[in-house]
Structure 1
Amino acid sequence: MKILLRIAAIAAITILLALSSLYAASEWRLARHYDVPLTPLRIAPATALVAEGERRAHIFGCTGCHHEAGNVLFKAPGVGRLVAPNLTRMAPLYSDAELARLVRHGVKRNGTSAIAMPAAAFSGLSDEDLVSIIAWLRTRPRMADAEPAQTAWGPLGWFAVATDKVPFSAPRAREVAPPVDRPRATPSQQGAYLVQSICSDCHKLDEANDNGWGMRTPPLRMMGQAYSLADFRALMRTGKAMGDREVGTMSSVARGDFSHMTDNEIEAIHAYLNSTDKSGSIAAVSAK
């Protein structure tokens, strides 16, 4: 009996030490600081940009993730929950330059990394787009949190954080400098920019992509080339794929957010995916 009790005690201590180690490793990763300097935005807010802000917040996915006042992105027993915060409450705490760093580099005001912010896609987001969205956010009244709970992790979540299975944004952000000058972009460059900024967080250009959340997406170029412009426009406006099919997340995102794209933006994406340019680069659109 004493031997069994001793074995049980050793097992309990081992488990406790393992959980403590996981917790410590996860807390270290969550508290890690990233030294990314603030860069002032070069475009001043204007009425026209503010008016465009809500539309651009849709097409770049801000409203799709954060909703009106926060949104639970992921929740599972033992793992935890990931919450996209209420922007009407969080944006006033940030300067414009701090918001730009958060979006482009995934670095929060306190220097730690955001989680699931698609900074890799947004690294080259233009000043015009950023200023427009930020200016619109600053006109919105503060709203009570739709989701009162905050991001939190359970034991399985600690393991995921400690072993880099959670999508920290700052380490995944790309170095793009200077930002894209969207107003000066040619239609081809505009298409490359929109593909990078809007599509690349879920899709890879020429191969299937495992997004790590149980979702696998097809190669974007192959999909775009399978659609006529009319069918592609219908997909982006209504969420209906060829054959009047529903296609999961794409259908809901298209109806909720991509439907706010202009005809020119949809045509630019389709033209780029059907071009002979295989680079997928947006470097040529960078501001001088």
Structure 2
Amino acid sequence: MSASTARTIARWTLRVLAVVVVLVLTGVGVVYGLSERRLRARFATPDHAFAARDDAAAVARGKHLVTTRGCMDCHGENLAGRTIIDDPMIGRLTGANLTRGGRGAALGDRDWELAVRHGLRADGSALLVMPSQEMTGMSDEDLAAIVAYARSVPAVGTERTPPRAGPLIRALYLGGQVKLLAAEQIDHAASHVPHVDVAPTAEYGRYVAAMCTGCHGPGYSGGKIPGAPPDWGPAANITPAGNPGRWSEAEFVHALTTGTRPDGSRIDGKLMPLKIIAQMDTVELRAVYQFLRTLPPRPYGNR
């Protein structure tokens, strides 16, 4: 190969690389711009009369709810927050410090209501990866209990770096593969009940089972979990068409408290939050079972 030919190839290689770099940067810029517009959107919510409590019964109920509804997964066992993911491509997903030594000191009753039920900050902007779609139907009484417990725990003076969305998760978000904002999934004008009766009924089971929709889907038929890590398996179909539909109430309760199915096989503890579910009481588990029995059988993976 002559020197002239080699120089020509080198020039074209550099030109192609330059074009590729420009296209990549342009793509990243488009993804950032479109996603940022949605991430910075403001949501309107009607005023709702809500007042937190501080009595011992409320604190005890709040501790139970915080423990069994997955709050500690992101906010830590002491509610001082934790970093879940910190990756340049995915982003930084952190749970805030909810104690009085951190973000919790600045949260009034209305702030709590907006965050838990609506996935919003006080200015109406959306919180990142806050599963409020699972808690938007929470009663005033239970929300007040959660606030009471959070305000009762010892203050921890650690503040977490705010979460941010990286380029990969923004692209998945725009493509509908990841739901970053619960605020986009919630009917913010819906009314809220002051109280729910705690009993082993299908009605209470529907209330409790809202926490299951993130993985099993709004129709509880399971399938691939949107935005889940590649090594996660699909969620089970827990409608009457799935295996749990063939279990008795006692078998259902035993499976969720021990992690062992009636046939002796183990439930995948990596996918299923067994440590959390094991702390639910029998009334809650029986209620969930009764609710799942009322669902229409759905094909697997139909979410």
Q: Distance in 1 between matches of 2:135 and 2:258?
A: 25
Whether 1:26 aligns to 2:40 is no
For the 8 Å contact 1:113–1:170, the answer to whether it is kept is yes
Corresponding residue for 1:216?
234
Post-superposition Cα deviations, 1:35-73, rounded to whole Å, max 9, x if no partner, equal 223423156443211122111111222123322332344
Check the 8 A contact 1:238/1:251 in 2, yes or no.
no
Which amino acid is the alignment partner of residue 195 of structure 2?
Answer: D
Q: Does 1:228 align with 2:245?
A: no
Question: With CA pairs under 8 Å and 6+ residues apart, which has the higher RCO, 1 or 2?
Answer: 1
Q: Which residue of the partner structure matches residue 158 of structure 1?
A: 170
Cα offsets for 1:132-172 (capped at 9, x unmatched): 111100111222549x5542343323323444443211001
Query: Cα 1:13–1:129, aligned 2, differ >3 Å: closer, same or farther?
Result: same
Distance across 2 between alignment mates of 1:113 and 1:32: 7
Tell me the TM-score normalised to structure 1 length. Answer: 0.81
Q: Provide the residue aligned with 2:300 in structure 1.
A: none
Given the superposition, is the C-alpha separation of residues 108 and 185 from structure 1 closer, same or farther in structure 2, using an over 3 Å criterion?
farther
Distance 1:218 1:102, change over 3 A: same
Q: 1:143 to 1:244 in 2, by over 3 A?
A: farther
Picking from 58, 61, 64, the partner of 2:73 is 64
Within the candidate set 244, 268, 282, 1:263 is matched to 282
- Which residues of 2 match residues 3-82 of structure 1 at below 5 A? 4-41=13-50, 44-68=53-77, 69-74=80-85, 76=87, 78-82=89-93
Distance 2:178 2:70 in 1: 20
Count of aligned pairs: 275
Q: For 2:245 and 2:23, how far apart are their aligned partners in 1? A: 55
Aligned-residue CA RMSD (Å):
2.9
Q: Deviations over 1:95-133 (max 9, x none)?
A: 112211211111123322123322222121111111111
Aligned to 1:111: 124
CA displacement at 1:206 relative to structure 2 = 4.9
Tell me, yes or no, if structure 1 residue 91 matches structure 2 residue 104.
yes
Mind listing any 5+ residue stretches in structure 1 that lack a counterpart? 280-288
How far residue 74 of structure 1 moved from its aligned partner, in angstroms, is 4.1
Instruction: Return 5+ residue gaps in structure 2 as ranges.
Output: 1-7, 298-303
Structure 1 residues 273 and 252: alpha-carbon distance in aligned structure 2, compared to 1, 3 A threshold: closer
Q: TM-score, structure 2 length as denominator?
A: 0.78
> Are 1:39 and 1:101, in contact at CA under 8 Å, matched by a contact in 2?
no
